[in-house]
Amino acid sequence: MQNHEQNIQTLILSNDEHIGATLRVLLASLSQSGTCAIVETASGLTSMLHHGLKTVFVDARELQGQKGKGLAQRVTSEAALIVIARDSRDAVLAFELEATDCISLPLLASRLDLALERAGAKG
């Protein structure tokens, strides 16, 4: 593992470039401590677990089905899971997966700030 990976505290799983980039910019604007990385696949996220992550943002599309439930369980055993919801069905899924929080699109700094507070990741 490279040294820069050890400092990553926030991870974003989304294959939607716009969501990943917007979330990264918002995190920076909130002076979120630690570094942030974006992965586009569940296997990329899995490889980053156990490295001291505090918060993991996951696009709800990545959590559909049994594989998604297993992924959510692995994340919640290591970090706060915040689901990015596109509609009310995604919000229900986040609740079922016992996510720390669920934020809907469009992403807003004020809502992101609240999600980080709930996750205990601010500071």
pTM: 0.90
Separation of alpha carbons 95 and 31, rounded Å: 28
Mean pLDDT of the chain: 89
**Residue extents of the structural domains in the chain:** 3-119
Q: Are 27 and 112 in contact (CB under 8 A)?
A: yes
pLDDT of residue 77: 93
Q: Helices in the chain by DSSP H: which ranges? A: 3-6, 17-29, 42-48, 65-76, 88-96, 109-119
Q: Using 50, 70 and 90 to split pLDDT, how confident is the model at 50?
A: confident
**Residue 41 predicted with pLDDT over 90:** yes
Smallest CA-to-CA distance from 74 within 52, 45, 103, 108 is with: 45
Considering the domain 3-119 in this protein, what is its CATH number? Answer: 3.40.50.2300
Per-residue pLDDT tens digits for 84-98: 999 999 999 999 999
CA dihedral 77→1→44→105, nearest 10 degrees, is: 70
